[in-house]
A and B are shown apart, each in its own frame.
Chain A
Amino acid sequence: MHARYLIIGSSHAGREALAAIRMADPQGRLVMLSRERHRPYSPTILPYVVSGRSDPRKVGLGSVAWFAENRAELVLDAQVVAVDADARAVRLADGGCWTYDKLLLATGAEPVVPPVEGLEGVRYHVLRTLDDALAIRARAATARRAVVLGAGLVGMHAAETLAGAGLDVTVVEMRPHVLAEYFDPRASTLIRETFERHGTHMMMGRRVERAAGVETEACRLGLDDGTELEADLLLVAAGVRPALRMLADSGIATDKGILVDTRMRTARDGVWAAGDVAQAPGFPTGAPMVNGTLPEAVEQGRIAGMDMAGDDDLRPYLGGIPLNTYGFFGRHAVAVGAAAAPAGDGVEVVTDEGDGYCRIALKDNRLIGLAAIDRVMDAGILWRLIQRRVDLGPVRDRFLSHPLETARALMSRGWR
């Protein structure tokens, strides 16, 4: 079978590319393959499936009607196991084969399971797929004690959810801080303390070394400091890595992820990659980085789709900027750019804890990062200010004292 456009992966990057292709080419056959048996959904929704807040039947990213409107075919239960860029073909686990003119790899990321002695012998969960979420949900119904391994976004979301479900939750994190890839130590501390106030045990700077099963489904964990923990539900949330297994011998260059340029093109003709699987130029240096967030998957997916369809309006990628919003226990945190950049070496840091927490990092009077907790911020505007290297010199003091309003005024002026 042949498609003009073949997209592997049905989540944010794939969906956005699909829409972008259809903007420019209403005709060419467009096929999306997903290894899932479920219709497309976002991994980000999964903690809320665990908690029951989101109905698994209502979390769809693209309805049947949406695919029909876009004249795109969605093929489920189609796991790609090999890519042959010379023959412009992909092979499926069931032996099937698709050929293509243009291929997008939007296969996202997969959980990393750290080397913990005995882990393979005990029952543990990960959280990346809808089936994972449903399994955790089922287990949480009877479990009493949960241990979450890792305090990244997935671990933190899951910990809150499980605590909300009434479980006694312990989070074990190797690094000294939660969400260390986004927030500075002070902000991380404020977030951690909130969890502790809600009864979650936060064990920072500790490592799980051993795991052993006990009777029923529970397990016992040994930490590096000698602590022993028992868990009815063990969630491994120790990070993710790009899903590239099917690329062996494909000639598609990879490092941590699939290396792409500012148009999301890989090293091979006719092959693009976007989203969590891609390693695209980072901002501002251009050094390749995996920036596994949802807005980034959307941005890259759109660029890939436009380039695949030859859309003249394409504006090349400006470089990945770490960026996230985070809601926890009714509170609200934002981190944009190098929000944790230490002061010195030209970087100026201004922190304000007057009304909520706000940490602003400037370099040459340009915003390079901002973290805030319980302060209303327009993450999208801040992201633009960083990306466009907007000179804040003329409004510096006002920006430092009133970042929200000043950023809005700068943008509004720019749009008029």
Chain B
Amino acid sequence: MASQDTIRFISERCDGCGDCMTACAKAKGSASRVAIVAGSDGGWEMALCRQCGDPKCVANCPAGALDKHRDSGIVDWFKDLCVDCHLCTVGCVYGGIVFDPAAGHVQKCDMCDGSPACVPACDKGALEHLSAAGRLHEIHADKEDMFVPGLSACQGCNSELLIRHTMRRIGRNSVVAAPPGCIPGMGTVGYNGQTGAKMPIFHPLLTNTAAMLGGVKRQYERKGRDVTVVALAGDGGAVDVGFQSLSGAAERGERVLFICVDNEGYMNTGMQASGSTTFGSWTSTTPVGEIGRGKSTDGKYLPQLLMGHGCAYVATASTAFLDDYHAKLEKALEASRTGFAYLHVHAPCPTGWRFPAAMTTEVCRRQVETNFVTLWEFTPEDGLCFTRGVGRPRPVSDYVGMIGKYKHLGPAELERIQASVHRRVEVLQGFRRRSTAAG
């Protein structure tokens, strides 16, 4: 069974206006199937069908009038089979299937055929349609997994997720370069002469990745073969010593996709700071002690620099927003047929940043929710477009507080981080041309 769409409720943003209910009632021509109710602490709460994985309403129906759809995951209700016993309402602890006296039968959310009317109706952003998992599953489940089943990444590292998704998409007709860093370290290039991927993968130097890859591509072009060439590099291989060759390849417009997986440091060699390490971070070379307070300068923001190269495509991504990543991967691959494409993926590191391994995706999400990480894409024609609004960020302390490497920070340092987050957003907003996403 495929993973399923859900609607997420962000209680902090809800002001109880009820616009979602109005929109639902209008779309369905009946009582609203989403209910916003006052909470006990002055906030708001929601009752709505969760399209459960193992729905009890279905188990309680004597008439076979409810069924969970195998593909969409939606719990469907069939009017002609329903006998109005209302026993389904006994099974539901979310208030998701409710008797509607005006209609004379039960009603429940059917996700409006994939585009729920309530979500866009909420201009506070309190409802989010989480659709990625189901859709991605549908698109990618049948594609070949190109990466070793056993690997030696740290527990909780999101690079595996990223690598598997990326490799599934690019497939066998490709060549991958994995310069020194966590990605070859976890087994992509393999051990003892055995490779960890099903496509040709090689291990360039930190310094020459983009140059080598550009050469590989040109050779294939000379031979008349259309092969996708991709770099999976860490921030060290892109921001620091790899920067010269990267910058050169971008300038020349090599037809290459360069993906930087940014964990803000040299994490597999002992957690040293890199140019990408952000202000205040503890690393083994920016220690915290009597004098040291972590890194004393801001991180270098590589995607902005690549934008300055006028690349065919530049984008940032987060693995908490995989549908966004996939959309950008498509565009980047397309752009790399004619010019240089660059993807910058943020990869919080549970080991080096010191947060629980189970929290990685939450950390990724929080980076974005606080604008610490912004999601955008750039093409020379359209300028910069945010792919996720930056208008209502949470305070950056909500993110910083989750991470051990910032544990020592005081209010003044937090303020500085918050200020630099604001400044970066302002700078990026300046690059917008025909932006579609609401800023």
B partners with A: yes
CB-based contact B95/A381 at 8 Å: yes
Given A42-B62, A376-B98, A405 contacting B86 (CB threshold 8 A) = no
> A295-325, CB under 8 A of B: which get 1 and which 0?
1001000100000000000000000000111
Chain B residue contacts of A61, Cβ below 8 A: 62, 64
Cα distance A408–B100 when bound, in Å? 16
Task: Name the one of A374, A411, A416 contacting B101, with C-beta atoms under 8 angstroms.
Answer: A374
- List 8 additional contacts besides A48-B83, A61-B64, A376-B101; criterion CB under 8 Å: A53-B83, A59-B64, A60-B64, A298-B56, A325-B85, A409-B40, A409-B45, A413-B45
- Given known A-B contacts A384-B93, A408-B95, A416-B11, A395 and B40 have beta carbons under 8 A apart: yes
Residues of A within 8 A of B85 (CB): 44, 325, 327
Task: Name the CB-closest residue of B to A412.
Answer: B45
Min CB distance, A60 to chain B, in Å? 6
Q: Interface 1/0s, chain A 178-203, versus B by CB < 8 A? A: 00000000000000000000000000
B411 within 8 A of A: no
16 contacts between A and B (CB under 8 A): A12-B62, A54-B81, A59-B63, A59-B64, A294-B62, A294-B87, A298-B60, A376-B100, A378-B92, A378-B98, A379-B90, A380-B89, A380-B92, A380-B95, A407-B95, A412-B47
CA distance A19 to B55 in the complex (A): 12
The reply to whether A380 and B93 contact each other, CB–CB distance below 8 Å, is yes
B: number of interface residues (CB 8 Å)? 34
Q: How far is the CA of A377 from the CA of B59 in the complex (A)?
A: 20
Known: A45-B62, A59-B64. A409 touches B91 (CB 8 A): no
The one of A60, A323, A384, A408 in contact with B35, judged by C-beta atoms closer than 8 angstroms, is A408
CB contacts (< 8 Å) of B91 on chain A: these are 295, 298, 380
Closest residue of chain B to A325 (Cβ to Cβ) is: B86
Smallest Cβ-Cβ distance to A379: which chain B residue: B90
Q: What separation, in Å, do the CA atoms of A412 and B81 have in the docked complex? A: 30
Separation in Å of the B127 CB from the closest CB of chain A? 13
In the complex, A408 Cα to B81 Cα: how many Å? 28
B104 is an interface residue with CB less than 8 A from chain A: yes
Q: Knowing A325-B85, A325-B89, A411-B95 are in contact, say whether A298-B59 is a contact too (CB < 8 A).
A: yes
Closest 4 CB pairs of A and B: A42-B62, A325-B86, A412-B45, A44-B62
Among A225-269, those with CB < 8 Å from B are: none
Residue of A nearest to B50 (CB): A415
B37 with A409: CB separation less than 8 A: yes
Given A58-B64, A325-B86, A410-B40, A330:B104 Cβ within 8 A = yes
The answer on a CB contact under 8 Å between B83 and A412 is no
- In the complex, B99 has a CB within 8 A of chain A: yes
Shortest C-beta distance, A323 to chain B (Å), equals 6
Q: Does B38 contact A (CB under 8 A)?
A: yes
- Whole-angstrom distance between the alpha carbons of A407 and B47 in the complex? 10
* Chain B CB within 8 A of A283 CB: no
- Chain B minimum-CB-distance residue to A410: B40
A332 to B85, CA, bound (A): 9
**In the complex, what distance in Å separates the CA atom of A295 from the CA atom of B38?**
29
Shortest Cβ distance from B105 into A: residue: A327
Contact with B along A373-396 (1 / 0, CB 8 A): 010111111011000000000110
Is A332 touching B99 in the complex (CB atoms < 8 A)? yes
Is B330 positioned at the interface, with any CB of A under 8 Å from its CB? no
Chain A interface residue count, CB cutoff 8 Å, equals 49
Q: Which residues of B lie under 8 Å from residue A326 when comparing CB positions? A: 86
In the complex, what distance in Å separates the CA atom of A406 from the CA atom of B38?
Answer: 7
A323 to B94, CA, bound (A): 17
Q: How near does chain A come to B294, taking the closest CB pair, in angstroms?
A: 33
Given contacts A395-B40, A405-B38, contact A383 B63 (CB under 8 A): no
Q: Which of B21-36 contact A (CB under 8 A)?
A: 35
In the assembled complex, A276 has its CB within 8 A of some CB on chain B: no
Give the distance in Å from the alpha carbon of A334 to the alpha carbon of B85 in the complex: 11
| Any B CB within 8 A of the CB of A173 | no
CB closest residue in chain A, given B63: A45
B398 sits at the interface (CB 8 A): no
Contact of B89 among A44, A379, A407 (CB under 8 A): A379
Name B residues whose Cβ lies closer than 8 Å to a Cβ of A.
9, 11, 35, 37-40, 45-47, 56, 59-60, 62-64, 81, 83-87, 89-95, 98-101, 104
Instruction: Note all chain A residues with C-beta closer than 8 A to B40.
Output: 394-395, 398, 406, 409-410, 413
Chain B residues near A48 (CB-CB < 8 A): 63, 83
Residue of B nearest to A382 (CB): B90
Bound state CA distance, A347 and B85, in angstroms? 30
Whether B98 contacts A411 by the Cβ 8 Å rule is no
Q: How far is the CA of A203 from the CA of B80 in the complex (A)?
A: 34
Greatest chain B CB density within 10 A among A45, A60, A383 is at A45
Contact with B along A140-181 (1 / 0, CB 8 A): 000000000000000000000000000000000000000000
A33 CB to nearest B CB, Å = 21
Name which residue of chain A comes closest to B84, CB basis.
A327
CB of A380, distance to nearest CB on chain B (Å): 4
Cβ contacts A46-65/B at 8 Å (1 or 0 each): 00100001100011110000
CB pair A381 B39 closer than 8 Å: no
Bound-state Cα–Cα, A378 to B33, Å? 13
Cβ of B202 to closest chain A Cβ, rounded Å: 42
A16 contacts across to B, CB distance below 8 A: 59
Specify the chain A residue showing the minimal Cβ separation from B41. A413
Q: Which residues of A contact B83 (CB under 8 A)?
A: 45, 48, 53-54
A249 vs B370: C-alpha distance when bound (angstroms): 70
Interface pair A411/B93, CB less than 8 Å apart: yes
Q: How far is the CA of A374 from the CA of B306 in the complex (A)?
A: 64
* Beta-carbon contact of A295 and B87 below 8 Å: yes
Residues of A within 8 A of B39 (CB): 409, 412-413
Nearest neighbor of A11 in chain B, beta-carbon distance = B62
Q: Which residues of A contact B94 (CB under 8 A)?
A: 380-381, 411-412, 415
Q: Across the interface, name the chain A residue whose C-beta is closest to B61.
A: A42
Distance, CA A302 to CA B91, complexed state (A): 13
Residue of A nearest to B11 (CB): A416
Which residues from 57 to 76 on chain A have a C-beta closer than 8 Å to any C-beta of chain B?
58-61
CB distance from A76 to the nearest CB of B (A): 18
State the CA gap A406–B98 with chains docked (Å): 16
Contacts of B100 in A (CB 8 A): 376
Cα A298 to Cα B45 in complex, Å, equals 29
Query: Please, how many angstroms separate the alpha-carbon atoms of A60 and B67 in the complex?
Result: 13
Q: In the complex, are the beta carbons of B99 and A383 less than 8 A apart?
A: no
Question: Do A408 and B63 touch (CB < 8 A)?
Answer: no
- Residue in chain B with minimal CB distance to A336: B90
Q: Could you tell me the distance between the alpha carbons of A294 and B46 in the complex, rounded to whole angstroms?
A: 28
B68 to chain A, nearest CB (A): 12
Complex CA distance for A409 and B42, rounded to whole angstroms:
11
What's the minimum C-beta distance from A149 to chain B, rounded to whole angstroms? 22
